[in-house]
Each structure stands twice: as C-alpha cells, then as structure tokens.
C-alpha cells in the first residue's frame, strides 16, 4: 500500500515540479515576471483550482475523517497519474527546454522529492500510520509551487556566479575584436524584426553576425560572442532586452555598441519595470553607452522615441562626431518603421540606394512581425503569433483594415505584464477592434471587460480551441443560403481575414493554416 501511494504521488508530483520549472524558465527566472503570472486568471487557477480546493478540504477534515482522506487521496492520485500518462502520450507535458541550468534544477528537485519520500517511509512504517503518510504527501503536494520556486531561488546565487563568469569571458573576447562594429537594438517592440531586416540588408555588403532568436539577455549575448564571434565578421547586430533598470547598460558593457537603435517604447513589461518612466530610462541606456563618435537612430513614429531624440540633441550637442537620426516617418504598414530603420543604418554605413533596394527585395515575408498566408479554402490568415505588445496589436489591426475589404476576425489573449497600464491599454485595443473587426474572440479573461468596453458585442470570450474554430466557421456561414458545406470556409469571400495575435491555441493555428 505504501509503495502504491508512493509511486502514484511521485509521478504526479514530478509532473507538477516539471511544470513549475518550465514556468520559471519561460519567465527567464525573473522573480517579477514569475509573480506577475499569478495575477492573471490562468495563474490564479494554478493555485485556486477545484482540485487544490478539494485537497485543502481533505486536509482540514483529516482529524475527524481520516479514512475519508485515505480513500479520497487514493482516487485523486490514480486520476492524476492517468492524466499524466495521457499527457505524456499526447506530448502535452509541460517541461523546461533542456539547458544545463534546467537539468541541474530538475535534478535538484527530484533529489529533494526522493529524499522527502525516503525520510517519510523511514519514519512511518506501520500500516496503522498510513493515514499520516498520506497526510504528509498531501502537504508536499499542495506546497509544490512553493517548493519548486524555493529550489530555483536557493540555487540562484550559483546561477549568478555562473552568469558573471560567462559575462567576464565574453567581455575579454569582445575586447580582442578592436575593429568590430556593433549595432545595439532595443525597444519595447520591433527589436527582432529590425535585427532581421538589418542583417538581411547589411549582409549584401558585409560579413554579419547577429544574435539568435530569443538571445537578447546578458547570458544570451555573451554566449553568442563566446560561441559564434570569429575574426571574419565585420558587424555584430545585437538585440538587447531587459526587464529592469540597468539591464541595457549591462548589455552595452558586454557588446560595446557604436550604433544604437531604439525601435519604439510602450507599456510592455511595465509590471516588472514599475513605471513608464523606468522603461524609457532603461531603453535610453543604449544611447548613453554609445561613444562620442557613435550613431543613434530613433523611430519617428513613436512619441517616446521623439522625446529621447530631442533629449539626445541637447545632451550630445557638444559632440560634433555623434550623429542622431530619425527614421520611419513615412511608414504605412506594420513593421514599416523597422525596415526603414534598417535602411537608414545601411545608408549611413556606406551602402548605396541600389544596394539597399536589391537587398531589401530579397527579404523573406517571414522575417517581419506578421506573415499573411492563404489558409484552407483560401481564407486570409494574418499570423502575428510570434509575440504581442500594445502598439503591435494596434498596427496589425490597422493593417487588416487597410488591406482586407471583407469580414474581419481577430483571435487574441489579453496582453500580460502591463502593470497599472493594463486597463487603459486594453480599452484602447478594444476601441480599435470596434473600429476594424466584425468579430473578436478573446481567449483569456484578465482584461476582457476593458476590451469589451471598446469593442462592444463584437467581443466574445472563448478559450476552448475547438469552440473557437466552430465560432469562426459559423460566423462565415452567417447569411449564406448553403450552410451545409463540410468545408469550414467554403463560404469565405475574397477579402475575408482572420488575425491571429500573440499566443493563440496551437490547434487553431494548425486548423487554419495547416502548419
């Protein structure tokens, strides 16, 4: 009996530990981002769900009904075990992406879990004490989120030491490349697109190294320098991301940029920065770190960038060699500012208009922030699932408005990590949805109320992927005489479009696009 309970508990608890380590990794081991997740509805459900409530009730009723605890927990653990097996077979288990840090944390967590079980078995051997055995297993079960987090935090000093060691080695190697030109790119949005556009254009004339996807942290940039930087490279394009003050300054100390691009600033990640002022100051750390003969580029279509451009005019007025540029004034499509920014940098680096034009013509559609695809039965699918931010959502809605004349649908979750700006941002998005869309399917509840204030009855909340697909199908069938077609979008017209924004269910993407 002890063995059976131990086995069932170990499997379900290992699954839970892997999930929380996955969540920590997803939030880049940033305490603020991790905690902010629990302010969302999905985060709250992780802690206050029916299963956890039942377990807490069982614990509280233990003194009066010990046998009820025994039987109920046995049934619950069997069900959780079966769910784990089911998720494993369907490849739906959430677990961290393999890295040395993740492997170390998983090992530490499993050792702690095993040690707890071993000590418990050593101290509760009699069959009469099995109820107490179950009691302590349930305590560990309920506290798994805290235990997993504690393991991460306990080993954080070791992670910091390792991080500092990597950064130090990267700085030494970077110092050996005296003639390397580094372009630093930061902003609340548009960093990756600008990096990809710039790399595509400059590679027409120069040997280019760029940071890889999601490689914009101090460790990511350092590893790129250590693993990929070689003498033949002339230009290093470095994407820079941060979640707190000093983050961009640290990255500049590693990469030593001579050119800085601020792609745009908005409320993204305000939950971790604390205020819009802190976000602006952090992004400006890139410009402050540039040398006296550096070049700074600012997105003219962003009000905060314009403010920083004017600030730079004042602060750098005595530095004749320092150059300051605005770009993107005439951009009229999503990501337009980003490609204009890349072209402006290329021009300052000596590329002619013909060279830039030739390079730009080779840029693949998939490089930008959005990709327009023909889905099943020719439905226009605007894929903007890479990431989402307030300005990006508004720009994508404007793009859909200007380029598709038919019925328009958006599918998106509420945006996260916006802090105190969240309500105002979602009202703004709701107003734009009301202006552009015929239907808005919002997949999370957190700020649905604010979106609906602007979008009205066009906005509906749905989180089940299959129900969302059926809603889209039924919407396109409305008003048609023949509603019996087996094809989901047989009644879609030319100009009809579906915008998939941010993290939408994978099932829905697969059904609409076939990817």
Question: What is the DSSP track for 42-94?
Answer: HHHHHHSSHHHHHHHHHHHTTTT-HHHHHHHHHHHHHHHHHHHHHHHHTT---
- The pLDDT, as a whole number, for residue 222 is 98
In whole angstroms, what is the distance from residue 100 CA to residue 343 CA?
Answer: 39
What pLDDT does 128 receive? Answer: 66
pLDDT in tens, 318-355: 777 888 888 877 666 556 788 899 999 999 999 998 89
pLDDT at 442: 96
Q: In sequence order, what DSSP letters do the residues of 326-383 get, joined into one string? A: EE-TT--STTHHHHHHHHHHHHHTT--HHHHHHHHHT--GGGSS-EEEE-GGG-EEEE
Residue 424 DSSP SS3: helix
pLDDT digits (tens, 9 = 90+) for 190-244: 999 899 999 999 999 999 999 998 899 999 999 999 999 999 999 999 999 999 9
What are the two backbone dihedrals, phi and then psi, of residue 353, each rounded to the nearest 5 degrees?
Answer: -60, -40
What pLDDT is attached to residue 491?
A: 57
pLDDT at 486: 52
CATH code for residues 173-367 = 3.40.1190.10
Residues 6+ apart with CB under 8 A from 443: 411, 412, 413, 461, 462, 463, 468, 504, 505
Contacts of 162 (CB under 8 A, 6+ apart): 101
The answer to whether the beta carbons of residues 356 and 201 sit under 8 Å apart is yes
State phi, psi for 486 to the nearest 5 degrees. Answer: -80, -15
- What is the reported pLDDT for 5? 87
| Cα–Cα distance list, 447 to 283, 409, 434, 444 (Å) | 27, 19, 16, 8
Report the predicted TM-score, pTM, of the whole model to 2 decimal places.
Answer: 0.84
Residue ranges of domains in the chain: 2-154, 173-367, 371-513
Query: How does DSSP classify residue 323?
Result: E
**Is the Cα dihedral 271, 275, 278, 283 positive or negative?**
positive
Nearest to residue 418, comparing CAs of 454, 390, 393?
A: 390
End-to-end distance of the chain based on CA atoms, in angstroms? 47
Asked whether 387 and 419 are in contact (CB, 8 A), the reply is no
Long-range contacts of 450-456 (CB under 8 A, 24+ apart): 450/422, 450/423, 450/426, 451/414, 451/426, 451/427, 453/427, 454/427, 454/428, 454/429, 454/430, 455/430, 455/431
List of long-range contacts for 116-123, beta carbons under 8 Å, 24+ apart: 116/140, 117/6, 117/9, 117/10, 121/2, 121/6
Is the Cβ–Cβ distance between 447 and 413 less than 8 Å?
A: no
DSSP state of 274: -
Task: Report the distance separating Cα 39 and Cα 238, nearest Å.
Answer: 32
| pLDDT for the residue 331 | 62
Low-confidence ranges of the chain (pLDDT < 70): 1, 125-128, 330-335, 364-369, 478-492, 514-515
β 295-299/208-210 pair status: unpaired
What CATH architecture does domain 371-513 belong to? Answer: Alpha-Beta Complex (3.90)
Neighbours of 122 (CB within 10 A): 8
- Where do the DSSP E strands lie in 216-318? 235-239, 259-262, 295-299
């Amino acid at each position: 009996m002890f063995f059976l309970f131990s086995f069932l508990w170990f499997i379900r608890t290992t699954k839970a530990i892997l999930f929380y380590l996955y969540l920590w990794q997803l939030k880049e081991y940033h305490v603020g981002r991790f905690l902010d997740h629990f302010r969302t509805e999905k985060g709250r459900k992780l802690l206050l769900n029916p299963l956890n409530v039942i377990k807490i009730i069982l614990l509280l009723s233990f003194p009066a009904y010990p046998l009820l605890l025994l039987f109920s927990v046995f049934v619950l653990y069997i069900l959780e075990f079966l769910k784990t097996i089911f998720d494993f077979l369907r490849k739906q288990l959430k677990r961290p992406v393999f890295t040395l840090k993740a492997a170390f944390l998983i090992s530490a967590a499993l050792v702690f879990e095993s040690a707890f079980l071993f000590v418990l078995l050593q101290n509760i051997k009699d069959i009469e004490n099995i109820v107490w055995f179950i009691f302590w297993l349930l305590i560990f079960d309920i506290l798994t989120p805290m235990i997993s987090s504690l393991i991460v935090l306990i080993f954080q000093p070791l992670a910091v030491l390792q991080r500092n060691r990597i950064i130090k080695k990267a700085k030494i190697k970077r110092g050996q490349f005296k003639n390397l030109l580094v372009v630093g790119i930061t902003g609340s949005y548009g960093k990756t697109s600008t990096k990809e556009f710039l790399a595509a254009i400059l590679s027409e004339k120069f040997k280019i190294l760029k940071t890889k996807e999601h490689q914009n942290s101090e460790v990511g940039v350092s590893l790129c320098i250590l693993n990929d930087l070689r003498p033949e490279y002339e230009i290093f394009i470095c994407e820079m991301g941060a979640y707190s003050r000093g983050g961009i300054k640290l990255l500049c100390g590693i990469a030593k940029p001579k050119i800085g691009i601020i792609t745009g600033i908005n409320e993204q990640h305000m939950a971790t920065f604390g205020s819009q002022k802190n976000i602006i100051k952090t992004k400006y750390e890139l410009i402050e770190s540039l040398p006296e003969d550096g070049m700074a580029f600012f997105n003219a279509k962003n009000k905060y960038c314009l403010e920083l451009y004017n600030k730079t005019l004042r602060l750098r007025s005595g530095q004749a060699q320092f150059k300051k540029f605005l770009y993107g004034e005439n951009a009229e499509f999503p990501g337009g500012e980003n490609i204009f920014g890349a072209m402006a940098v290329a021009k300052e680096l000596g590329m002619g208009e013909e060279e830039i034009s030739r390079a730009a013509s080779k840029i693949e559609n998939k490089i930008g922030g959005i990709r327009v695809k023909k889905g099943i039965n020719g439905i226009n699918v605007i894929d903007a699932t890479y990431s989402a931010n307030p300005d990006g959502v508004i720009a994508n809605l404007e793009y859909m408005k200007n380029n598709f004349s038919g019925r328009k649908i958006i599918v998106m979750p509420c945006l996260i990590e916006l802090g105190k700006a969240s309500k105002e941002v979602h009202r703004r998005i709701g107003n734009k949805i009301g202006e552009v869309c015929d239907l808005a399917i919002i997949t999370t509840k957190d700020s649905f109320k604010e979106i609906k204030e602007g979008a009205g009855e066009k906005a509906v909340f749905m989180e089940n992927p299959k129900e969302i697909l059926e809603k889209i199908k039924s919407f396109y069938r409305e008003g048609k005489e023949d509603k019996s077609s087996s094809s989901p979008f047989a009644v879609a017209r030319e100009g009809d479009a579906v915008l998939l924004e941010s993290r939408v269910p994978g099932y829905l993407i697969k059904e609409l696009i076939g990817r």
